[in-house]
Structures are given as structure tokens and as C-alpha cells.
Structure 1
Amino acid sequence: MIVIQEPAELQSEIKRRRFAAARMGRELSVGLVPTMGYLHEGHASLLRKARANDVVVLSIFVNPIQFGPNEDFERYPRDAQRDLALAEQEGVDIVFMPEVKHMYPQRAKTKVQVSDLTSGLCGASRPGHFDGVTTVVSKLFHIVVPDFAYFGMKDAQQVAVLSQMVRDLNMNVTLVPCPIVREQDGLALSSRNVYLSDEQREQALVLSASLKEARQRIDEGGITTAADLKAFLTDRILSKPLAEIDYVDVLTFPGLEALPENAKIQEIEGDIIAALAVKFGSTRLIDNMLLQKKGVAIYA
């Protein structure tokens, strides 16, 4: 495993490996797993998926332009040595660990912006966040030129936005959405979970529990409409006194279009998503349940 900081050095290393493979008469497949570090089992699951490629590149970069002025950029958890140990354990070939000066050596005058899909959910409460995400991921795609890039479905809006960017800009990369990874008690893995107090963490279990119960009620016919689903999730979450709802929404996926409140879940032909963002203290957690055609749960 090698560790690289400079974008130009990484570009040269990928070119060198592709050229060496071509001289032997074969194409080299490159898989990219973009992260902000403080790796956990969710990231490890993405790295294991990426191992299907000849070369696995892990990027670790806490991207300042996707954080708002009052968000947690400075205190976002970081542990480079722990991250490198996990990367080596998972068979990563190249770790790209740039500093801010490497990715943004001067004030950028260019950004990548996806409209519509970024106006709701996390985009509504975090203005400019997705502009930062699409810009940095576009930069990573240009630096690494991966064949496949792996993203967790915990941030389903991010997956939808990046998929739109790839289609609209004819980027020659395949995005691979991967299932949410959870703790044994159901809490979706997140680097921000370390912020939670014991009491907050206990109450945060309501997110996964409410989604699981909602899925059961859909199967049993107790929840039939988008309005029923939204109301059930809202009531269940607010039963926890420390929970402060940012949003509870039910939308099409990946189009992220609002559903009529009387829309019958079992009659909807496309996929729909129930998406949550809830604060416990100062820690904002997201979770979701994706329902495939006619109410069949696939990522939950």
C-alpha cells in the first residue's frame, strides 16, 4: 500500500499502472472509495466491494467546501493512523490523503452544481453542501479516473445527486451504491456517532427502529399511503424527548420528487424513499429506507 498526497503524483501513478497493464495486453480496472476518513465498518464494506478491481484507491479528505460556516469542519473526527491501518487490512493499493492546499491551491472559480435534486432534504438545511460534494467528487474522478466508484446508501441523496452528475456530464465511471451498514442494535454507522452521549445514542436507535417497524406495517397493510408513512415515522421519532426532527420525507428515488400525500405505496410503480434527518443534541444523524417497486424493501 502506498500513500500519496499530491494530485499530480496520483495521476502519474495511475497512468503508470495502466500503461504497464496495457503493455501486457490487458486493461486495468480501478475502483475508488471516496471518504472523509475516521473509517468504520461501513467504509470497510465499500473497500471490500472495490476489491473486485485490479487497483483500489481510497481517498481520505475532509472537504471544507461542503461544510457550512456553523458546521463541524474543525471538529470533524480525524485519525489518520487508524485509517491507514484499516486500509491496509482491507487490501487498499493506494491511499490518497491530500491536504486542503493540495486540493484547493488557490481560490477556486469553478464549481459543479446539480439543480433540483439538491433543493430538498439535506440540501434545504445545508445550503451549498452538495455543491461542495459534487465539486470535490468531480475533482477526484478527474484525478483518479476510476472505472467504478463506491458510495454508501446511508446518504441516499448524495447517491442520487452524484448519479445525476455522472449522467449529465457523461463521466466515464460507474457509481456503485452499497447497502447501509448498521451496528448490531440497528444504528446506522457514521463517523459522527462518536459525538453522541450514551443517552443520545440510546434514543437515536429510534431512527432504525421506526424504519423497521414502518416496513413491517407496510407489508401488513397498516401503512398504505405516503402521508401515513410520514406521520408514523414522525410520531415514532418524537416519542424520544432528545430527538429534534430536521426532516421526515417520502419521495421518489432517485428523482427525489414529492409524492402526493394520498399516493398508495403499493401502487407506485417506481422506487420510493423514506428519508430522515434528526438531531440529538448537536449531532445530526441521517437514515433512510428505500422501497423498490410496490413496497419491497431493498436498502433499509
Structure 2
Amino acid sequence: MNKTISPWNIGSSLYIPANHPDLTKIIINNKYPTLKSIIICLEDAIKSEDILFAKHNLQQTMLQVASFYTNNPSGNQLPLIFVRPRNIAMAKWIITNVDLSYMVGFVLPKFDANCLDDWWQALRTTSLYWMPTLETQDVYNIIKMQQLSDTLNAHPCRDKILVLRIGGNDLMNGLRLRRHRNMTLYDGPIGYLIKMLVTVFAQNNFYLTAPVCEHFSDNDLLRQEVILDINHGLIGKTIIHPSQLTVIDQAYRVSQQEFTEAQQILATTQGVFKVNGSMCEPTTQHRWAADILERAKYFGIY
């Protein structure tokens, strides 16, 4: 699948272990019709003794996906499919042994400057997108993150990077912490890291997605956190349970007021004007306005 995809089309990414016995059915039957993307995981979610079956299951799933599109050329579109390999060696195996026709990209685990060139050599000949995951010790160091941001911005892989993912659980583990079930990520040190990562990567026009909320029994907490994700400039969120999907999709809808203001900011020739009691300044707000219209395109308006 070689087509242009907006970062906003990633939305809520459902992680599914590659050894899930119903993996093919979940995708082919479009079990969650509003789900925008799926990440088939061969990394942390798979025990070493299950890798062989997981790889076989991935092979069979992607063959079935290709068959679905062959037999339904004008039918309903399935979610965007990404695969998270265990390492670079496994990514090379996937490229050689799996039907990539309808795979959109790879999620690159434990990504940092040290492995950039190895990933580039492994993936450069494919048309697949990259979603590098920021979850190593380097993330705690703002200097290293600024260097990585600038390096990626100038690297030939730049056009392949769809979004950067923030690996919350690995970052929490590095601090000997686990998310409190009654608090958002922004109430602890990961909140600082999110602020820092947005600051150093968004200035180079990279988009970032938010970490998972593993306590899926409390949708009120999830709703609070997604609002904070949006306010920090993040454009989607990893989910681990389908019950989280509707909450995230609703939170990402754009208000009619924001939509109208964004339209006027992009359409006006004025230097500054007022709308709904607020100052609008196209010179400094045009990037925000463009994102609002793009967000509305994929999540809707309320």
C-alpha cells in the first residue's frame, strides 16, 4: 500500500499481539469499524517461546488481507495496518517473508540515534512508513532528543516518518514507576517528558502520539488524559482495549467554534481580527488552524 497518509489518520492505534488466535478475523471482519489503525505487535507482547507461531500468524493474516482487497476492490476499507517487529533482524525477515501489499508501516521499538542507520539500511528499499518509538534512556536527556530531532529532520528517512510514538510504559519502567490508576500521566514525571518531546520535535514539524492508558476500566480518567494529550499537541493515542476507542474519538472531535475560527484564520487577508471574544492572528496561528481542519476531517465536528 503505497499512498500518502495523514498523521491525523492514525487516530487510536489498537495494539494486538501477533499471536492472537483471532487476529485475521478481527481485521478482515472490521470488528471495530471506527478504528483507524492497528499495530500487530511482535515485541514486548510476545513471549520468546511464542515468536514462531506469532510470525506464522502474521504471514497468514497479511495473505488474508491481500485476498480481502483483491475480492473487495470497492468495499469497506480496513484499518491501517502497522507491524511492530521485535528488532531489526525480525523486520528484515518480515520484508522477505510477509506479503507487504497492504501493510502501511513499521513501528520501530526502542528507537534512538544509535540504531537510526541500521533501521535505514533495513527499510530503505520499502515504501513503508516509520513510526519510531521514543522509549530508551536517551529520552530523559533533552540534549540527545534535540540532536535526534535535528538529525531525523535532515536524514533521508524524513519522508518515511509518519509520526513518533511516546513509549510511556518503558519510560515509566526506567524511572522505577508505574502509572497511578487515579492520575493522568501528566501528574508525574512523564508529563515533563511529554512536554519536552513535543517542544523539541514539533519545532521540526514532527507529529507525536500519546502513550497508552493501561487502566481501561476508568474512562473518565482516560477522557481527562486525552484532553491533556490534545492540549500538548499530540495527535492520537495507543489503546489496548476497544472500550477506549469511542472515548478517544469523541475527545478528538473539533468544536464548531474552533473549526470556524480555523477557517477564518486561513482564509483572511487581515493581519489580526477578533472572533468569539478572542484575537486571531493568522501569522502566528496558521499552523494551528491547518491542524484543526485536518483533525476535523478525520474525527468530525461537534
Q: TM-score, normalised by structure 2?
A: 0.29
User: In proportion to residue count, which structure has more helix?
Assistant: 2
Structure number with higher strand proportion? 1
* TM-score normalised by structure 1 residue count: 0.29
